[in-house]
Chain A
Amino acid sequence: MKTPTLVDRKHAELLYKLFDKFALDDQRAYYIDQVNRNRTAAAQVNVIRAIFAFLTGLAAALAGLIVLLSPAYCVPSTTGAELALLGAAATDDPSLVVTAVPPDVDTATESASDTVVSDGCNLDLVIFLLVLAVVAPALGGAFGTLADLYQWDRLVKIYELAADNLEVADAKSPIDSMTFEDYRITLKAYAEGTLAVMRDETAQWGQIIRTPESIDNFIRREQERVQTNVGNLPQQVQDAVKKELDELRAAAAATERRLQQIRDTFGITDVPPPPTA
């Protein structure tokens, strides 16, 4: 079967129209869409991270302020020490070291929880702020890692560059007034240029996809933690397990010796040798 490729001008024109619409235009629309989507995602995550950073600072500062303005007896010494650390350490103010209980309360009978509900105290709010100051940076950090995972900013650059390069390829489009030979050569150069842009974009994209280092470190750390916390049995348990195993080994060896005696007695030779321990 012989069918000449690009038999005539009309064939070339049809191919140009099809490639232009279904390869180049589709690819251009894809790049523009990806640039917009990645840019929006990067901006959204950036705002979320900024909000969490802001909340962290605000919670710590507010907790410090409340401690400073509250009557000293409101705050148990332990919580006061934490607040002093979190909220007002920078001030080096020794007055932040507060007493555990109101001066008029009998320390022998009053528990710390009773001081939480004392009139004029804001301990619930302070504890909430403390927790917020602890949890917010963790969540902010998670969104930072999410940005590392999706690489939105770098993808925006890659797709923008690819879209620009696609315009260069598009500029080589054949035009109607060309002779068939020129049209054919230009069409090939134009299509080859477009495919080259697609190929380069895929190669660059493949290079930036990496697992964020922080996630790798987290997995390694947690594996070590499990080894430390769960892997180490108490010495008593380890000794008991060892004793059981030794007894089992001894019993197996005794059984094997007995079997060997029976084999020797009856001259059995076609039994496979026992597996070595």
Chain B
Amino acid sequence: MPLFRPLKPQIDDPLIDLNKMTAVYDELIKDAKTAEEKAAYAAAFQRVQDDIEFMKHNLLRLQRVRDHDAKKNQNNYRLYQILFLGLAAVAAALGSLQALSLSSGDRQQLAIFAFLETLVALAAVFLATISGREPPLPRWLDSRRKAEQLRREYFRFLLNMAPYEDNNDVKRRMSLSERAANINRGVYPDESGLI
């Protein structure tokens, strides 16, 4: 049974599960031969955790909201379309039955089918009116695009990829905050050819 109302977004729900991340780190530590190597892994792990912690407020929060918005609008859009589809099927069946009763000359039956068909038409117009106020399709596509780009930005920042290659961590983090805010408002920074 599909959920037409997605659950509320968990703002703190990380893209990378901390327990699973720790498991990866533990494996690396297990393979480390010297104390120096272990210390280097520990420092790297701490840096990654710091980055993830920083992104919680500056990026993840926005990503979660957009992701939820996309799911909600996707479900709304499909719900409306499926209702239209059901009405179209009923209208087609009623139209055919009307044609049959027309040939049989049963006026009462014909009138009932015509009335039912009008009801279907009214229901379709009602649905079209309520779905037209905030059309879910463009909102779905827009939110999904933003959520996916924010997700890619998350990994881009974590891996210190362009434009987050700066050795100055303040600049790097400010750049992330700015880019994430821009993506969230629909201004998409260039992603191609950053390497």
Contact = CB atoms under 8 A, between A and B. Distances in A.
Interface of A: 1-11, 13-15, 17-19, 21-23, 78-79, 81-82, 85, 130-131, 134-135, 137-139, 141-142, 145-146, 149-150, 187-189, 191-192, 195-196, 198-199, 202, 206, 209, 211-212, 214-215, 218-219, 222-223, 225-226, 229-230
A150 B169 CA distance: 44
Given A3-B167, A78-B103, A219-B128, 20 more contacts: A1-B168, A13-B28, A15-B48, A17-B27, A19-B155, A21-B24, A22-B15, A85-B103, A135-B93, A137-B92, A138-B93, A142-B86, A150-B78, A199-B149, A202-B149, A211-B81, A218-B91, A223-B121, A223-B128, A226-B118
A64 to B, nearest CB: 15
Contacts of B27: 17
B40 interface: yes
A199 B21 CA distance: 24
Nearest to B120: A222
B191 A199 contact: yes
B111 interface: no
Interface string B115-144: 001101110110010000000010011001
Q: Is the interface of B mostly helix, strand, loop or mixed?
A: helix
Contacts of B165: 5
A233 to B, nearest CB: 15
A204 to B, nearest CB: 12
Nearest to A5: B160
Interface in B137-195: 137, 140-141, 144-145, 148-149, 151-152, 155-156, 158-161, 164-170, 172, 191-192, 194-195
B8 interface: no
A19 B160 CA distance: 12
A132 to B, nearest CB: 11
Contacts of B124: 218-219, 222-223
Nearest to B25: A14
A229 B167 contact: no
Contacts of B44: 7-8, 10-11, 13-15
A119 to B, nearest CB: 23
Given A195-B191, A196-B192, A226-B121, A134 B159 contact: no
Contact of B118 (A17, A195, A212, A229): A229
B37 to A, nearest CB: 6
B104 interface: yes
Contacts of B117: 225
B88 A215 contact: yes
Contacts of A10: 28, 37, 40-41, 43-44
A124 to B, nearest CB: 15
A226 B43 CA distance: 70
Interface of B: 15-16, 20-21, 24-25, 27-28, 37, 40-41, 43-45, 47-48, 78, 81-82, 84-93, 96-97, 100, 103-105, 117-118, 120-122, 124-125, 128, 137, 140-141, 144-145, 148-149, 151-152, 155-156, 158-161, 164-170, 172, 191-192, 194-195
A200 B85 CA distance: 31
B57 to A, nearest CB: 18
Contacts of B128: 219, 222-223
Nearest to B92: A138
A252 B47 CA distance: 78
B120 to A, nearest CB: 7
A86 to B, nearest CB: 9
A146 B85 CA distance: 7
A82 B45 CA distance: 78
A262 B137 CA distance: 59
Contacts of A82: 100, 103-104
A131 B97 contact: yes
